[in-house]
A and B are shown apart, each in its own frame.
Chain A
Amino acid sequence: MPLIETRNLTQRRDGQTILKNINLRVERGEVYALIGPTGAGKTTLLRLIDILDTPADGKVFFNGVDVNSSDKIRLETRRRMAFVLQKPVVFNTSVYENIAYGLRWRGVDSRHIREGVEGILETVGLTMYKHRNARTLSGGEVQRVAIARAIAVRPEVLLLDEPTANLDPVSASKIEDLIAGIIKRETITVIMATHDMSQGQRLADRIGVLVNGEMVQSGDPREIFASPGNRQVAEFVGMENIIDGVVASSEGEVAAIDINGRIIEAVTEFDVGEAVSVCMRPEDITVALSRISSSARNSLDGKITWTVATGPLCRVEIDCGFPLVALVTRRSSEEMGLKKGKDVYATFKAVSIHVIRRH
């Protein structure tokens, strides 16, 4: 039996459906990441799981029990979970008191509260701020207090909503390390929302992709990253090249796909005549000044239409009869003299192409 299960969970606001028929199963001890763009419904789903809102339709089950069956069950179930909100707020009191609140509300005696809070303060590195008013802390420190406050109650399920979204890179990295530490140390089930695909990959056992209130794909992080199920997921996981074409011929697992009269070969099981979209990551495309001999089955000539340097890499846009984006190192770009109007060859393997059905 899954620890958390949602069945046809639907939420509406102002006449608009913001979450559609979500069927989610999260096992005990699992780390599940909900990823998706801003406004996809991640926070709405977490709020429904934490019973902060009532769904318009569908049910949430905690260990097989319908969480909305009575006020008593609602409170009892909520006390087995903890939720760190996207923009956490602290109570207008000391850091210590902030962390102690959840325990006090559960009727824990003062000795155990003191021991528990002291231990957690050490875990999150806030011992020196123990007596300080939590409202005077920085964004990263407030996030630490919020996480400390949540784990202090030893929840079976920890819900995290964009835990690093509002932080500078250094604080974000510290918070991510803290979460990773908690996941490793505690036997805890975690459901976290993030718009950062790579964070989901780093922390989660499983990922669900939410787009426009619908769960469009769910599975192993590597699988979602490598084989997005549709165009929306592909866009979200960083497939910058999504080009429409038609399967022209097929031989075994390798198919020839016609894109504006240019043929590229890809590994796919789609039938001849099917309208498809070809997805490629910019880093999988090699740029050369002449056709190179390699095992890659695709080498297309084209003209550079735009180059832009971003840090150590250079982004090159090539017109091969269709636009293609490639990433090369800045050094290679300088050595080859890559610039607008230059004729180049774009080379990529059939296996680095992911083909999805076009709707």
Chain B
Amino acid sequence: MTEIWNGLVKAVELIISFDPEVMQIAGRSLLIAVSSAVIGSAICIPLASIIHFNKFRGKRFLVSLIQTFYSVPTVAVGLFVFVFISSAGPLGGLGILFTPPAIVVGQVILITPILLGLTISALNSVDRTILDTARSLGAGGWQMAVLVVKEARFAVMAAVIMGFGRAISEVGISLMVGGNIRGFTRVITTAISLETSKGDIELAMALGIILIIIALVVNIVMNRIQQR
């Protein structure tokens, strides 16, 4: 018990004193997760609009399939990306294995189902009368899609934040395709895993607290958005 208490006190000290290693790892984690959320949104919001606004065979099945992948294991995505970008893989020539871009690629794949599925749900929730009003005012296909995304902006933002939350808290992808290289690809989750196994509980706890604070902030922002 004393060990836990001492660990907690030291962890708080590391945070308050802006320990360079803790700050560097936390900053890198945020940068990678934000990049993943931004790139994922840039791909998924237009794609969700295309799925939402078009009628095609198997649409319901596709949406069900997307929802099934909400909880895809991070190690499965890690393995998939690893196979593709390892030197023997089809994209091995890119040379991004064990670099931050590799983690971003993996995280984008991980959060795509969440972003797509929740954005489609958000667009579905827009009142049909809004669509009729826009069409009657002369909106063309893309103009209407942009309007509907704007109308659903709070729900779409909630989807993006959910995606960000999933990205920053994953460990499997960062470990498998990032390699947990100190000062380069080490992020909060991989550092916690490593430091705990090494017995450096203070550092692991400090990073754990930061991760929980980030999760808390994300949650508060989400609640605020959903109340609007």
B183 at the interface (CB under 8 A from A): no
Residue in A closest to B144 when the chains form the complex, CB atoms:
A105
Asked if B130 contacts A105 (CB within 8 A), the reply is no
Which of B127, B130, B134, B139 has most chain A Cβ within 10 Å? B139
19 additional contacts (CB under 8 A) given A78-B138, A82-B136, A105-B139:
A52-B135, A52-B136, A75-B138, A79-B138, A83-B132, A83-B136, A88-B133, A89-B129, A89-B133, A91-B130, A91-B151, A92-B151, A101-B139, A102-B137, A105-B140, A105-B143, A146-B133, A153-B137, A153-B138
Q: How large is the interface on A (under 10, 10 to 19, 20 to 34, 35 or more residues)?
A: 20 to 34
Q: How large is the interface on B (under 10, 10 to 19, 20 to 34, 35 or more residues)?
A: 10 to 19
A357 at the interface (CB under 8 A from B): no
Some 14 contacts from A to B, beta carbons below 8 A apart, are A47-B132, A52-B132, A52-B135, A78-B135, A78-B136, A79-B138, A83-B136, A85-B133, A89-B133, A101-B139, A102-B137, A102-B138, A105-B140, A149-B137
A105 CA to B136 CA, complexed, in Å: 11
A359 at the interface (CB under 8 A from B): no
Q: Which of B136, B143, B147 has a CB less than 8 Å from the CB of A91?
A: B147
Which of B133, B134, B135, B151 has most chain A Cβ within 10 Å? B133
- Chain B residues with CB under 8 A of A52: 132, 135-136
A106 at the interface (CB under 8 A from B): yes
A87 at the interface (CB under 8 A from B): yes
- Chain A residues with CB under 8 A of B132: 47, 52, 83, 85
- Chain B residues with CB under 8 A of A81: 136
- Chain B residues with CB under 8 A of A87: 129
| Chain A interfacial positions (CB closer than 8 Å to B) | 47, 50, 52, 75, 78-79, 81-83, 85, 87-89, 91-93, 101-102, 105-106, 146, 149-150, 153, 159
Asked if B127 contacts A89 (CB within 8 A), the reply is yes
Asked if A50 contacts B136 (CB within 8 A), the reply is yes
- Chain B residues with CB under 8 A of A102: 137-138
A133 to chain B, nearest CB (A): 11
B117 to chain A, nearest CB (A): 23
A88 CA to B143 CA, complexed, in Å: 20
A103 to chain B, nearest CB (A): 9
Asked if B140 contacts A75 (CB within 8 A), the reply is yes
A91 CA to B132 CA, complexed, in Å: 12
A81 CA to B138 CA, complexed, in Å: 8
- Chain A residues with CB under 8 A of B147: 91, 101
Interface positions of B from 132 to 179, Cβ below 8 Å from A:
132-140, 143, 147, 150-151, 153
Given the known interface contacts A91-B147, A92-B151, the answer about A105 and B138 at a Cβ–Cβ threshold of 8 Å is yes
- Chain B residues with CB under 8 A of A149: 137
Given the known interface contacts A91-B130, A92-B151, A105-B143, the answer about A85 and B136 at a Cβ–Cβ threshold of 8 Å is yes
A106 CA to B143 CA, complexed, in Å: 10
Residue in A closest to B153 when the chains form the complex, CB atoms:
A92
- Chain B residues with CB under 8 A of A89: 127, 129-130, 133
A81 CA to B133 CA, complexed, in Å: 12
A309 to chain B, nearest CB (A): 41
Residue in A closest to B132 when the chains form the complex, CB atoms:
A52
- Chain A residues with CB under 8 A of B150: 91-93
B156 to chain A, nearest CB (A): 13
Given the known interface contacts A91-B147, A91-B151, A92-B151, the answer about A85 and B135 at a Cβ–Cβ threshold of 8 Å is no
A81 CA to B137 CA, complexed, in Å: 8
Residue in B closest to A76 when the chains form the complex, CB atoms:
B138
Asked if B137 contacts A82 (CB within 8 A), the reply is yes
- Chain B residues with CB under 8 A of A78: 135-136, 138
A149 CA to B147 CA, complexed, in Å: 15
B134 to chain A, nearest CB (A): 8
- Chain A residues with CB under 8 A of B137: 82, 101-102, 105, 149-150, 153
- A-B interface, 3 closest residue pairs, ranked by CB to CB distance from nearest: A83-B136, A79-B138, A102-B137
- Chain A residues with CB under 8 A of B138: 75, 78-79, 102, 105-106, 153
Which of B136, B143, B147, B151 has most chain A Cβ within 10 Å? B136
A74 to chain B, nearest CB (A): 10
Which of A87, A105, A153 has most chain B Cβ within 10 Å? A105
- Chain B residues with CB under 8 A of A50: 136
Residue in A closest to B147 when the chains form the complex, CB atoms:
A91
A312 CA to B76 CA, complexed, in Å: 81
Residue in B closest to A53 when the chains form the complex, CB atoms:
B132
Residue in B closest to A146 when the chains form the complex, CB atoms:
B133
